[in-house]
Amino acid sequence: MASPTLISDAPLNGASAATADFQPEVFDQHVMATYSRFPIALERGEGCRVWDANGREYLDFVAGIATCLLGHAHPRMVEAVTTQIKKLHHVSNLYYIPEQGALAQWLTEHSCADRVFFCNSGAEANEGAIKLARKYAHTELGIESPVIITANASFHGRTLATVTATGQPKYQKNFDPLVPGFHYVPYNDIEALKAAIAQLDADQRQVAAILLEPMQGEGGVCPGNPVYFKQIRQLCDETGILLILDEVQVGMGRTGNLWGYETVGVEPDIFTAAKGLGGGVPIGAVLAKRHCDIFKASEHGTTFGGNPFVCGVALQVCQTLEATDLLANVRSRGQQLRKGLKAITQKYPQLCAGKRGWGLINGLVLREDTDTVALDIVKAALEEGLLVIPAGPKVVRLVPPLIVSAAEVDEAIALLDRTLSKLA
């Protein structure tokens, strides 16, 4: 009897066959219907462009929802992926992982954090931050039933705890009973926050942490007010409450600074990262200052988090971001994009109310009194060959790769102009 073949030199054509013979109805038959998908199947990408299974080209101003910082098929990422997969792709966290240590060192040397815990996603990173805050409340603050304050219109993830932390009831519907210990306040309103803390204290519900996004992404591309965040930092310093910032969408250079907390001018006690950290490979991180680094062995963990493959690739993303001075490009292209969005707003006042954003996370805000919603524009832009996404019902979000060129920004504005001209 012949021995089984463990390693074959035969070509693996499954991926190409899957796209060449793609049938949406078969896909829908086997995949849970958790997404309302647009009617294209993307097959490949290069830089800021992607192509569908029919060969049609699109300018990508979604970037995997602010994830593909270096665009698609970036040479440095291709090299990192190839090198690491040939070397070692996964082992357990029972052993030292040099790539994980090198990535943690880069992150702590380029942020206010002292220690890092690696996981697989933004939601999981926020879960870790919530657990860390609750332990801190019990062991350091002596709080028996800690409360974490979050903001209305926030978004922190889809797990049970992070969807509870998310201040949008539409994401919570039918998933009750939700996780206790959360309270919501209006964003950018310091008096409302102070009043909430006072009321919770009167009700003998002590606040352990305040969890906020430096900019609300899913909530409509709403920038945080630096004055508001500085007031919160002072309040936390006076009371011992932890400040946790969710940097999942705005971190890793998206705002024009490496971290969103730099844009609002404060340092958090804990912050989270994901999305752009891996440039498209799944990785998340909880980053904490030394006084919050209180997890002990076996109190938190993950099978895949921080494995050699994702950390090797993420380290290359970080080093490329630094070596190529992409932050300067983010700031320049962001100004150019907002100038173009302002011109769009002025040209179509019957549809558009304005624009807002930082760096390369920007929103075209639609008028509340028009029947047109963001999804209408997203669908129409798709027909023109431009990929954009909604951020709530009345904001069109533009989050291109950080490598986007001036010519590509001009092209995106021209395609958006053409889109709105047809809708108007």
3-class secondary structure per residue, the chain: CCCCCCCCCCCCCHHHHHHHCCCHHHHHHHCCCCCCCCCCCEEEEEECEEEECCCCEEEECCHHHHCCCCCECCHHHHHHHHHHHHHCCCCCCCCCCHHHHHHHHHHHHCCCCCEEEEECCHHHHHHHHHHHHHHHHHHCCCCCCCEEEEEECCCCCCCHHHHHHCECHHHHCCCCCCCCCEEEECCCCHHHHHHHHHHHHHCCCCEEEEEECCEECCCCCEECCHHHHHHHHHHHHHHCCEEEEECCCCCCCCCCCCCHHHHHCCCCCEEEECHHHHECECCEEEEECHHHCCCCCCCCCCCCCCCHHHHHHHHHHHHHHHHCCHHHHHHHHHHHHHHHHHHHHHHCCCCEEEEEEECCEEEEEECCCCCCCHHHHHHHHHHHCEECEECCCCEEEECCCCCCCHHHHHHHHHHHHHHHHHHC
CA distance 350 to 424: 8
pLDDT at 17 (0 to 100): 55
Q: What's residue 22's pLDDT?
A: 84
| Catalytic hit among 155, 182, 271, 309 | 155
Which residue in the list 135, 275, 355, 394 is annotated as catalytic? 275
* pTM for this predicted structure: 0.94
Interstrand relation of 386-387 and 57-60 (parallel, antiparallel or unpaired): parallel
Specify the amino acid at residue 367.
Answer: R
The CA angle 248-155-329, to the nearest 5 degrees, is 40
Question: In angstroms, what CA-CA distances link 144 with 93, 179, 206, 215, 240?
Answer: 32, 16, 8, 31, 15
pLDDT digits (tens, 9 = 90+) for 48-75: 999 999 999 999 999 999 999 999 999 9
Q: Which domains are assigned to the chain?
A: 14-73+326-423 (3.90.1150.10), 88-323 (3.40.640.10)
User: Residue 103 — φ and ψ, nearest 5°?
Assistant: -70, -45
Residue 296 annotated as catalytic: no
Query: Which residues of the chain carry a pLDDT beneath 50?
Result: 1-12, 14
Q: What is the pLDDT of residue 7?
A: 40
User: What integer pLDDT is reported at residue 24 of this predicted model?
Assistant: 87
Which of 117, 118, 182, 246 is flagged as catalytic?
A: 246
Would you state the structure tokens that stand for residue 218, as one six-digit string? 């899913």
* 134 contacts 206 by C-beta, under 8 angstroms: no
CA geometry: angle at 320 spanning 51 and 96, to 5°?
105
- pLDDT at site 102: 98
55 phi and psi angles, rounded to 5 deg: 90, 5
Q: Going by C-beta distance under 8 Å and a sequence separation of 6 or more, which residues neighbour residue 377?
A: 364, 366, 388, 396, 416, 419, 420, 423
Give yes or no for a contact between 49 and 412, defined as CB atoms under 8 angstroms apart: no
State pLDDT tens for residues 290-326.
999 999 999 999 999 999 999 999 999 999 999 999 9
- Beta strands 389-390; 57-60: pairing state: unpaired
- What pLDDT is recorded for position 399? 98
pLDDT at 66: 97
As beta bridge partners, residue 52 has: 42
Give the model's pLDDT for residue 3.
Answer: 42
Catalytic status, residue 237:
no
